[in-house]
Structure 1
Amino acid sequence: MALPFQNVYIHRKVAEASSKPCMICFRPSTSVLITSCQKDFFYICPSHLNDRGFATAVVDEAAEAEKRKKEEMDKELEKLKQEFEEKQKRKEEKKKDKDKDKDKKEKEKAKVKDEEADKLKVEETEKAKTEQAVEAASFCEYNLHRNFFNVRQQKYREKQVAKRNMERLKNPLSFPAVPKGDPV
């Protein structure tokens, strides 16, 4: 018999309002494991995901290498931005020394530029934090232990059988017809 779905579950988070009981301990949980084909899903506590008797994480080496490379590039980009800002400040200082008459206007402009730079830094750091949070809670893949996977498959088959039975009950042609002849 063909498997209804593969033993590859993706970890996702849901809103607090959508939390449901964990499959194992029945405590409210916002973590969900769902198959890639979205045929099966269940709520699970994050602590159970770390249990080797329940599931093992699938490690994607290529994705990890990309993350490391991206982190290195982000660090280099931050260094370059800082160097550029320092150069800009030096240029502004030189201009201030040359133009004492325009000193007040430049101070105002420098303040505005510094405020804008600070806003950009704050926005970039917030953006980086949200990206890191998304990456940290990214859709990690897990393989369930053989016994738990068999239970999930069995529940899926039971749901399919119940669904077929309900369809049969709704169809009046599936019931036997009333006898038409005289009783003997």
Structure 2
Amino acid sequence: MSFPNEYAHRKVAEAKAKACDICFKLSSSVLITPDNKDWFYVCPAHLKDTGFCTPKIDQAAIEARKKRELEQEIERVKKEYEEKQNKKKEKEAKGDKKDEAADKNDQADKSGSDNSQKTQDKTKDETVTSTTEDDEEPRVFELKSTFYQQRLNRKRQAEIAKRNRERMQDPTYFPSVPKNIP
């Protein structure tokens, strides 16, 4: 009958939003157990309340994300280094001072375009980090003991009521009328 005290945060469509179980405001956020035995609507503000629930942090996922970010940073630095090396080789290949002066002008133009590319890359990086910040929001929560007990009691009462309804529909539940005259 009992279920684990581990709830996953899910979003539903705005059209399917229902009242929060805590404050009765309209909410499209749902907390659901992994085995789908229990679920309820809750406001996102309650998820941040430490008196209601605590987020369960998956250390393996955090380490994997940090490793992935580190690898991306290493790749970016390698590309920048290779570009600088290629520019140096091109500069040495020219050899002439006149060509070098023309190259400096070209490089100044290129560096201006490189700077604009770098700013575009930075804005792309900022958008990537903003989307990853949304992903960083915890998805698995553990309810505090009082709220978890409340959920267990509500589930238990619903099952008892269902069992009583089934018993009431059974014709042998009530005593029969006596057939013999006393």
Shorter-chain TM-score tier: 0.5 to 0.7
Tell me, in whole angstroms, the C-alpha distance in 1 between the residues paired with 2:73 and 2:13.
32
Structure 2: gaps spanning 5 or more residues: 84-124
Name the residue aligned to 1:167. 166
Distance 1:135 1:183, change over 3 A: same
1:158 aligns with 2:157: yes
1:18 aligns with 2:16: yes
Distance 1:73 1:17, change over 3 A: farther
Aligned-pair distance for 1:145?
1.0
1:135 aligns with 2:135: yes
Name the residue aligned to 2:54. 56
Which segment drifts farther, 14-23 or 169-178? Answer: 169-178
In structure 2, give the amino acid aligned to 1:25. C
Question: How do 1:9-158 residues align onto structure 2 when only pairs under 5 Å count?
Answer: 9-75=7-73, 132=132, 135-136=135-136, 139=139, 141-158=140-157
Aligned-pair distance for 1:138?
6.8
TM-score by length of 2: 0.64
Tell me, in whole angstroms, the C-alpha distance in 2 between the residues paired with 1:24 and 1:71.
38
Tell me, in whole angstroms, the C-alpha distance in 2 between the residues paired with 1:164 and 1:82.
70
Which segment drifts farther, 64-73 or 7-16? Answer: 64-73
Mapped contact 2:6–2:141 kept (Cα < 8 A): yes
Aligned-pair distance for 1:30?
0.8
Tell me, in whole angstroms, the C-alpha distance in 2 between the residues paired with 1:133 and 1:17.
26
TM-score by length of 1: 0.63
Mapped contact 1:12–1:137 kept (Cα < 8 A): no
Tell me, in whole angstroms, the C-alpha distance in 2 between the residues paired with 1:13 and 1:145.
21
Describe the superposition over 1:47-90 as per-residue Cα deviations: whole angstroms up to 9, x where unpaired: 11111111111111111111222333445567788999x8xxxx
Percent of matched pairs sharing the same residue: 40
SS of structure 2 residue aligned to 1:174:
coil
In structure 1, give the amino acid aligned to 2:135. E
SS of structure 2 residue aligned to 1:56:
strand
Give the number of aligned pairs: 143
Tell me, in whole angstroms, the C-alpha distance in 1 between the residues paired with 2:8 and 2:33.
6
Describe the superposition over 1:157-179 as per-residue Cα deviations: whole angstroms up to 9, x where unpaired: 00110111111122223232232
Tell me, in whole angstroms, the C-alpha distance in 2 between the residues paired with 1:146 and 1:24.
15
Mapped contact 2:20–2:27 kept (Cα < 8 A): yes
Cα RMSD for the two superposed structures: 3.2
SS of structure 1 residue aligned to 2:172:
helix
